[in-house]
Amino acid sequence: MDLQMVLASKGLLDVYKSPEAANLPTSSVYRDTVYGTSIEPVAMLYNKNLLKPEWEPKTRADLVQLLKDHGTDLKGKVASFDPEKGGVGFLLATTGEHSTSSFWELARGFGAAEGKVYGSSGAMREKVLSGEQIIAFNVIGSYALQWIKESSVLGVNFATDYTAAFQRVASVTKGARATPLRLGPAGQVVAWTLICIWLFASVIMPIGGITVRAFVNAWGEGVILSEHLTLQHFAHLFDTPSLYRGMINTVVLAVFGGAVAVAIYTVVGLAGHRNKGTSGAIFDYMVLLPRALPGIVIGLAFFWVFLFVPFLKPLRPTLVSLFVAYTVVGLSYGLRIIQSTLLQVAPELEESSRTTGASLARTWRDTVIPLVRPGLVGAWSLIMIVFLREYATGIYLMGVGTEVIGSLMVSLLTSGAMDQIAALAFISIIMTAAGLGFALRLGARIHD
């Protein structure tokens, strides 16, 4: 609030006559530039199990006297806002010094008790709840009132002799303007024309060509396509064991392999969660390497691994080899999705779980994973699409029993079996479209 008032006094805020101004008290409107939207009193928050009832301060003077009489008992157990790290703490300290005669007396008592300072009300709440601190003052009152409803351990008091309060305010910086892109009628026609040309060339023509080719047995100049429609290409796929098996393997790897891969990515993501050190940065770059390299190079590398490592050699002619290769290649995609989901979980939730005695594993199981479960399902659907379209990685690893659609199309190309390739490509498009639809149904936002 104080910072916005400084901006207003220096003429750096725009004048905005709000239609809601009539519903606000005059003290909440300053020169039509700053509008107070709430009143936030500050409170004293304490641990009811640790603070003796007779010690409970009812006034600011009681708090000063408590620190004088029981400073030794409360040594290191009193908390307040850090005026250096938090704007609210600085505001409360400066207004307290100007508004009360007991400010420095309270400051001396706080210092004698070796009080601790924190950058937010949430941090103080966690310390009081855990018992590391017994009492905290200058806590934002609206938060404290909610917290005592959530925990019977916490108590709150508003000093009856002096309760500081501040307002949350809204303002508009001078010069701030909404700047939508305005193309005009002619510009919109040009833009839509370019978009349609791009869609036609990159999407409609390729997919349309594959679709038509998959359903005709003749193709070329002078051929009337409607006279050559057939389903024989698809019948051949289902009659040929290797081709049919390739379709089944593709679905198994995408659906079930994708789910297992997401579980692995989740464990990896949790292990590096909140790691801001050098090791975390190095790991972030390392996971990009498999995706940066051509898939055929990764497939060759895994072929050598499964060929020359004795205990892995029996797994080479199985789908396990493909699953491992796909999981490594998809690591950068999956981990980024899961990491962005994990960042939505406030660290205070994890801290509160740990301070109540939960182990790290239980914090993950009971707090973090339930909150990110929708994101994990979305990650699974997107990884499923990645696994469906992957082909280069599996070329060297493909053998009898481990065929997948992508590598089958590459192998069929050498024999010129374009009919089967077109049919497989069409089925691959249907599978990918189904996976994409499933992802959108689960709330995945593919444009982010």
Indicate whether 378 belongs to any domain. yes
Which sign, positive or negative, has the C-alpha torsion 375, 376, 379, 380? negative
Angle at 297 between CA 296 and CA 303, to 5 degrees: 85
401 DSSP assignment: T
Provide CB contacts within 8 A for 341, sequence distance 6+.
372, 375, 376, 378, 379
pLDDT of residue 181: 63
pLDDT given for residue 178 in this prediction:
61
Same domain, 139 and 235: no
- End of a domain among 145, 171, 197? 171
Assess if residue 211 is contained within a domain. Answer: no
Among candidate residues 171, 191, 215, the one where a domain is terminated: 171
Distance between CA atoms of residues 107 and 121, nearest Å: 19
The answer on 247 and 128 residing in a single domain is no
Angle at 182 between CA 177 and CA 183, to 5 degrees: 160
Are residues 296 and 394 part of one domain?
yes
Are both 21 and 164 inside the same structural domain? yes
pTM of the model: 0.55
Where a domain ends, among 131, 146, 171? 171
Tell me whether residue 423 is in a domain. yes
| Same domain, residue pair 275 and 403 | yes
Does 188 reside within a domain? no
CA gap 257, 318 in Å, rounded:
13
98 within some domain: yes
CATH number of domain containing 287: 1.10.3720.10
Q: Which two tokens stand for residue 233?
A: 């290409």
Looking at the domain assignment, is residue 214 inside a domain?
no
Note the pLDDT of residue 84: 83
Considering the domain architecture, whether residues 262 and 375 belong to the same structural domain is answered as yes
- Joined together, the tokens standing for residue 4 give 């916005």
Residue 9 belongs to domain spanning:
2-171
Which H or E run includes 118? strand 116-118
256 and 163 in one domain? Answer: no
CA dist 118 and 270 (Å) reads: 27
Residue 396 lies in a domain: yes
Question: Do 294 and 393 reside in the same domain of the chain?
Answer: yes
- What's the structural domain count of the chain? 2
Asked if the structure places residue 59 within a domain, the reply is yes
Examine the domain organization and report whether 116 and 246 are in the same domain.
no
Give, as one character, the DSSP assignment of residue 357: T
Q: Say whether both 235 and 361 belong to one domain.
A: yes
For position 53, which CATH number holds?
3.40.190.10
In this structure, how many other beta carbons lie within 10 angstroms of the beta carbon of residue 377? 16
Given a contact cutoff of 8 angstroms between Cβ atoms, the answer to whether 367 and 353 are in contact is yes
Alpha carbon distance 329, 289 (integer Å): 9
Per-residue model confidence as pLDDT tens for the chain (448 residues):
667 777 777 877 888 888 888 888 888 888 888 888 888 889 999 999 999 989 999 988 899 899 999 988 999 999 998 888 777 888 888 888 887 888 888 899 999 999 999 988 888 999 999 899 999 999 998 889 989 988 889 999 998 888 888 888 888 887 776 666 677 788 888 989 999 999 999 989 999 988 988 898 877 777 787 888 889 889 988 888 888 998 999 999 998 998 999 988 888 887 777 666 677 677 777 777 777 778 788 888 888 888 888 888 888 888 888 888 888 888 888 888 888 888 777 776 777 676 667 777 888 888 888 888 878 887 888 888 888 878 777 777 877 888 888 888 888 887 788 888 889 889 988 888 887 777 677 655 544 4
